[in-house]
Amino acid sequence: MTRTAQWLYGWLLLLPAAALLALFTHYPAAATAWHSFFSTPKGTRPPAYVGIDNYAQLVDDPIFWQSLSNNLWYAAGTIPLSIALALLMAAWVNGKLVGRGLLRLAYFTPTVLPMIAVANIWLFFYTPEYGLVEKIGSALGFAAHNWLGSKNTALGCLMAVAVWKEAGFFMIFYLAALQQISPQLAEAAAIEGASRWYFFRRVTFPLLMPTTLFVLVNAVINAFRLVDHIVVMTRGGPDNATELLLYYIYEIGFRFWDTAYAAALTMVLLTVLALVALGQFWFLDRRVHYQ
């Protein structure tokens, strides 16, 4: 095939996907940046250039700061816990435990259920008086507590749902990676007299590093991307205690229809995601061992 034909084929094959990607990923990202410098059109009044007014509003908006800090706490709470549980589950399911097929099924099932549906079930769990959590609590002699209605516990309740939903998903990737580690490594280490924990810390875990990175990046993205359960369980309340960034964008953009301010908020979210991407490259460069 001639060079020109290669060029032509390459671009023609790519064209349909590239056009849609440009229209629904690159254009909206750029348009968000552009619109964040304009006012929201109201009635017949067209948008006007307002400079950094939207960002100034954002700096002065306590709910924005709370949603950002909530989101960071949410990420800090859910990510390490779901990854640690995923690794533990994978190690168990990879071993010769009794009934490991059933266990794998139990761990993985939350992954295929829609977040919106499981949020309904968990909402029932947390219901005051009737809910299972409350029943167990009262049986053990704890005082009645409105789990989702209290500022101190609402975010924790949502984090529990997220960990429950995601750990099994991440387990799959660890399981795949564990199955690729050669059993000879363990035999060699055992001959050298390495303890079980030492072997995990110095051999297994480093070999799992690429998987951990992959899972970590997915976990971080999900912590900022998945807010379905908030719509069902708390709607950001009580008193903004469960307001996460994307849910706040949804509220501003589609309940108050302030699209300009929503654009400025989206820029913050895009910045967070860009930082994750940069962090990933930095980490890939220095820390991850490849076999």
Partner 1 sequence: MSAAVYRATGVARGLETAGAWLLGALWILPLAYALWTAFHPGEFSTRFVLAAPLTLANFAKAWAAAPFARYFVNTVILCTMILAMQLLLCTLAAYAFARFEFPGRTIAFALVLVQLMVTPDVLIVENYRTMSALGLRDTIVAIGLPYVASAFGIFLLRQTFKTVPKELDEAARVEGCSPLQVLWKVYVPLARPVYLAYALVSVSYHWNNFLWPLIITNSVESRPLTVGLQVFSGTDQGIDWSIITAATLLTTAPLLIGFLLFQRQFVQSFMRAGIK
Identify residues 25-54 at the interface with partner 1 (CB under 8 A). 25-29, 31-32, 35
Minimum distance from CB of 135 to partner 1 (Å)? Answer: 7
224 sits near partner 1 (criterion: CB under 8 A): yes
Options 79, 154, 227, 233; binder of partner 1; rule CB under 8 A: 227
Q: Mention every residue, 6+ apart, whose C-beta is less than 8 A from residue 178.
A: 90, 91, 94, 204, 208
Q: Mention every residue, 6+ apart, whose C-beta is less than 8 A from residue 67.
A: 240, 243, 244, 245, 247, 248
3-class DSSP state for residue 38? strand
Minimum distance from CB of 124 to partner 1 (Å)? Answer: 5
Of 12-20, 44-52, 66-74, 236-244: span binding partner 1 (CB under 8 A) = 12-20
The C-alpha R_g of the chain, in whole angstroms, comes to 24
Minimum distance from CB of 67 to partner 1 (Å)? Answer: 14
Minimum distance from CB of 153 to partner 1 (Å)? Answer: 18
**Are 130 and 72 spatial neighbours (Cβ–Cβ below 8 Å)?**
no
Instruction: Identify which of 149, 109, 151 has the alpha carbon closest to the alpha carbon of residue 126.
Output: 149
Of 44-52, 151-159, 172-180, 282-290: span binding partner 1 (CB under 8 A) = 172-180
In the numeric block, the tokens 């709910």 are attached to: 63
Instruction: Identify which of 225, 281, 231 has the alpha carbon closest to the alpha carbon of residue 251.
Output: 231
| Contacts with partner 1, 179-208, as mask; x by CB under 8 A | --x-x-xxx-xx-----x--xx---x----
Residues 122-151 that bind partner 1 (CB under 8 A): 122, 124-125, 127, 130-132, 135
Q: Residue 223, Cβ neighbours under 10 Å: how many?
A: 26
Kindly tell me the burial class for residue 20, based on how many C-beta atoms sit within 10 Å of its own C-beta (0-12, 13-18, 19 or more): exposed
216 sits near partner 1 (criterion: CB under 8 A): no
283 sits near partner 1 (criterion: CB under 8 A): no
Q: Rank residues 65 and 257 by Cβ distance to partner 1 and give the closer one.
A: 257
Options 50, 63, 72, 103; binder of partner 1; rule CB under 8 A: 103
228 sits near partner 1 (criterion: CB under 8 A): yes
Q: Mention every residue, 6+ apart, whose C-beta is less than 8 A from residue 229.
A: 115, 116, 118, 119, 122, 158, 161, 162
Residues 229-268 that bind partner 1 (CB under 8 A): 231-232, 246, 249-250, 253-254, 259, 262-263, 266
Options 50, 81, 91, 288; binder of partner 1; rule CB under 8 A: 91
Options 176, 256, 284, 287; binder of partner 1; rule CB under 8 A: 176
Q: Rank residues 98 and 143 by Cβ distance to partner 1 and give the closer one.
A: 98
Q: Mention every residue, 6+ apart, whose C-beta is less than 8 A from residue 194.
A: 202, 203
Q: Distance (Å, rounded) from C-alpha 83 to C-alpha 166?
A: 9
Q: Rank residues 20 and 76 by Cβ distance to partner 1 and give the closer one.
A: 20
